[in-house]
Amino acid sequence: MKKFYIIANEDKQNTKRTLKRIGEYLSLKGASWMVHESREGDEGQRSDQGFKYTDPEKVPEDTDCVITLGGDGTLIQAARDLAGLNIPILGINLGTLGYLTQGNGQDVPEILEALLSGHYVLERRMMLEGRAEGVDGARFRDIALNEIVVTRKDSMKVTKLSISVNGRFFSSYTANGVILSTPTGSTAYNLSAGGPIAAPNCRIMILTPICSHTLNMRSIVLCADDTVRIEIVDGGEGEQAAVFDGDTAVDMSRGDVIEISRSTVETTMVKLNDDSFLDNVRNKMAGI
């Protein structure tokens, strides 16, 4: 790898210092690099062009790797905005847990040397696509790397949902909502809601209820090729929402439907160390 595009979360501490270290190191090694320039309004809703933070047209076609500076959220935003470009992404953690990232600001020289010398492997991570349709005909589509959550906006109230899989009725839920997670997202909201952890190279979807008002409701592991249909059975106008990776959201009301399936695009992530997935889970989760 010799050409890099850097996306930095300016709200994190030490961002400027870490960015300076990266630029100096890459320049010393004869590599080229470019920094994403954020602009006013980038934090708004996803644009008509399909991106929210990073315009994929601004990323040079010959980019070998995208480096994100921030936390898991920064990496996930980049993955969604740049989906389909097939450029490997590596995250440097400037936040707290950083489960998806490959090191922190102190590890910059080692990280960059591994990239420049080819000491890494690439992992392809599946994504989800959600297509929401309201009874009024309004439509919304987006993708997610971690999960799509259908939930009640008022966390102190439950919502009633009807779930079908591949056109066949599966179950009704009375709960705070449901999570449909990828293996990558299994260690995020899904884990907090009691769902199972899955190896990131699996090709599955995990359906997990949130605070279900039923004793026997548990997570269900589905095939990656399944299509899940979620219908809002009860609730007033805009009282529910479908939330993509905890970021973008669309309001939902009684009778509205969202269909979720595996996306045709994937995210390619850079893995530097030889730690197994289970080693990573143990090390990252030990202090939580």
What is the token pair recorded at 236?
Answer: 């007033």
Q: Is the dihedral of CA 199, 201, 202, 205 positive or negative?
A: positive
Tokens of 40: 């006013």
Q: Is 69 annotated as a binding residue?
A: no
187 annotated binding-site participant: yes
Whose tokens are 């884990």? That residue is 191
82 marked ligand binding residue? no
> Which amino acid, 275?
D
Residue 219 assigned ligand-binding role: no
Q: Confirm whether residue 234 is marked as ligand binding.
A: no
User: Do the annotations mark residue 38 as ligand-binding?
Assistant: no
Q: Is 146 annotated as a binding residue?
A: yes
Q: Is 147 annotated as a binding residue?
A: yes
Q: Strand pairing partners for 258?
A: 132, 230
72 part of the active site: yes
Q: What is the DSSP letter of 195?
A: P
C-alpha distances (whole Å) from 182 to each of 45, 84, 94, 176, 271 are 23, 17, 24, 20, 18
Q: Is 225 annotated as a binding residue?
A: no
Considering the candidates 48, 72, 107, 251, report the single residue annotated as catalytic. Answer: 72
Closest CA to 76 of 147, 130, 15, 153: 147
Find the distance separating the first CA and the last CA of the chain, reported in whole Å.
Answer: 35
Q: How far is CA 18 from the centre of its chain?
A: 23
Radius of gyration over every alpha carbon of the chain, rounded to an integer in angstroms: 20
Is residue 256 marked as binding?
A: no
Question: Is 216 marked as a binding-site residue?
Answer: no
Residue 47, SS3 per DSSP: coil
Tell whether residue 215 is among the known ligand binding residues: no
By the 8 A CB rule, do 230 and 220 touch?
no
Give the residue ranges of the annotated binding site.
72-73, 146-147, 157, 176, 187-192
By annotation, the residues acting in catalysis are 72
Give the residue ranges of the annotated binding site for NAD(+).
72-73, 146-147, 157, 176, 187-192
